Amino acid sequence: MKVTRFFATPEGESRFQEVEIPITEPRPDSFGNTIRQSSAWPSSSIRFVELPVGLDQSWHHAPASQIVIVLTGIVEVGTSDNQKRRCMPGQAFIADDLSGKGHTTRVVEGPARVVFVQLPEGFDFDRWSP
C-alpha cells in the first residue's frame, strides 16, 4: 500500500515522497477469510478534527509526525518545491515536516473531516522497518 509522506529535507525544504507500507502479515478471520495487514505502528494519540470549508493555511509545520486520514472533503497540501497533492476521502498521508519551511494546507472541498494519528516523538520513517 502506497501512502504519500511530506517531510523536511536537510536544507529545510519540504518534499513529497511515496512510502510503501508492506501489507504482508496474513491473519485468518473467524469466517475463513485471510486478511493481510501491516505491522503495527505506535501511536501516542488520535484526534478527530473538522477543517472548515475555505481553510487556507500558509507555510507551517506539522506539530508532530502524524498520519492524517481524510474521512470527508478534499485536503490539498503544498510543498516548498511548488508541488501540490490532494487527499480524497478514504486516503491517508503522513505529515512529517517538523522543521524548515513547512507546507501549506487548503480545504478544496469541505468541510473536511480528518483523523490525526500522532506518532511518538522521535519516530523515524527512514529507520522504521516493518
Mean pLDDT, residues 13-18? 96
Higher pLDDT, 52 or 41: 52
Q: Does any domain span residue 113?
A: yes
Task: Decide: 69 and 113 in contact? Cβ < 8 Å.
Answer: no
| % of the chain with per-residue pLDDT over 70 | 96
What's the CATH code of the domain at 102? 2.60.120.10
| Residues 84 and 93: beta-carbon distance below 8 Å | no
Does 129 fall in a domain? no
Residue 95 in domain: yes
Average pLDDT, the chain: 93
* 80 falls within a domain: yes
**% pLDDT > 90, the chain:** 77
Question: Which set of grid coordinates corresponds to residue 123?
Answer: 519516530
- What residues contact 79, with CB distance under 8 A and at least 6 apart? 6, 13, 14, 15, 16, 103
Q: Give the domain extent around 48.
A: 2-118
Q: Answer whether residue 34 is part of any domain.
A: yes
Does position 130 have pLDDT exceeding 60, yes or no? no
Domain tally for the chain? 1
Cell triple for 109: 472541498
Q: Is residue 55 part of a domain?
A: yes
What is the predicted pLDDT for the residue at 23?
87
In a domain, 21, yes or no: yes
Tens digits of per-residue pLDDT, 60-116?
999 999 999 999 999 999 999 999 999 999 999 999 999 999 999 999 998 999 999
pLDDT value at position 125?
72
124 within domain boundaries:
no
Give the chain as a DSSP string: -EEEEEEE-TTS-EEEEEEE----EEEE-TTS-EEEEPPPPP-SEEEEEEEPTT-EEEEE--SSSEEEEEEEEEEEEE-TTS-EEEE-TT-EEEEE--SSS-EEEEEEEEEEEEEEEEPPTT--TTT---
